[in-house]
Amino acid sequence: MAEALVRAERRGPAAVLTLDSPANRNALSAALLEQLHAALREAMDDPATRAVVLTGAGPVFCSGADLKEQRTGVRPVVNLPEILTLILEGSKPVVARVNGAARAGGLGLIAACDLTVGLTTATFGFSEVRIGVAPAIIAVPVLRRMDPRAARELFLTGEPFDGERAREAGLLDRAVPEDRLDATVDELVAQLALGAPEAVAATKQLLRDLPGPDLAADFGRMAALSAERFGSDEAREGIAALLEKRRPAWAQPD
């Protein structure tokens, strides 16, 4: 039986996925990537899951690619782009709980998440240039999230930076002390669980799609989406709940 490198647990309305490979600093080995992909798919397909929380075990969030494994020529069954695409395009919002240091590919995981919370004391670094490679794959989500000027400097220098700089650069939405990490993540999950599941999925997609290249086309697509949502069962329930001063069905306590 394969060693479990990704732990999946239920925490209220969230599925918490923990990278649990402390021996190599939660590096993205072939086995870990495959298990993470499977765990993400299961969480995305679970109607009871309202949000996914991604975190790491021990003092490190994720150290990036497993460089020892890369030297052996191991070809992973699941590649990092598949993981990042699933996080970006999956119907459930994903919250990064950055519990410690992150490097290289670990920053790609963070950047792909919808909401990101990390420790002010955590250290980050696009260390690729310092070992002779480039932050190529992770640039796809990172450059969608970070301030481009900050990304340019940090990509080119490989300089380590802390949680506060990560927040200023846009990699983290919130930088918090250790004693506020879990509470902040739980607060965000609780807020996400108040939204109607289909509406949250539609909103996540429009955040990816806009702005498009053409203003009129953007308005046309969004007018169609607005009409579709106002005609949905969720909208009928949500509006009725508002008028009747009660919680909608999807926001009922567990």
CA separation for the pair 36, 20 (Å, rounded): 10
By the 10 Å C-beta count (0-12 exposed, 13-18 middle, 19+ buried), 26 is classed as: buried
Catalytic residue of the set 3, 128, 198, 237:
128
Classified as helix, coil or strand, 220 is: helix
Query: What's the half-sphere exposure (Cβ side, CA atoms, 13 Å) at 196?
Result: 18
Contact between 94 and 52 under an 8 Å Cβ cutoff? The reply is yes
Contact between 167 and 173 under an 8 Å Cβ cutoff? The reply is yes
* Partners of residue 55 on adjacent β-strands: 18
CA separation for the pair 154, 7 (Å, rounded): 31
82 as an active site residue: the answer is: no
Question: Which residues have a catalytic role annotated?
Answer: 128
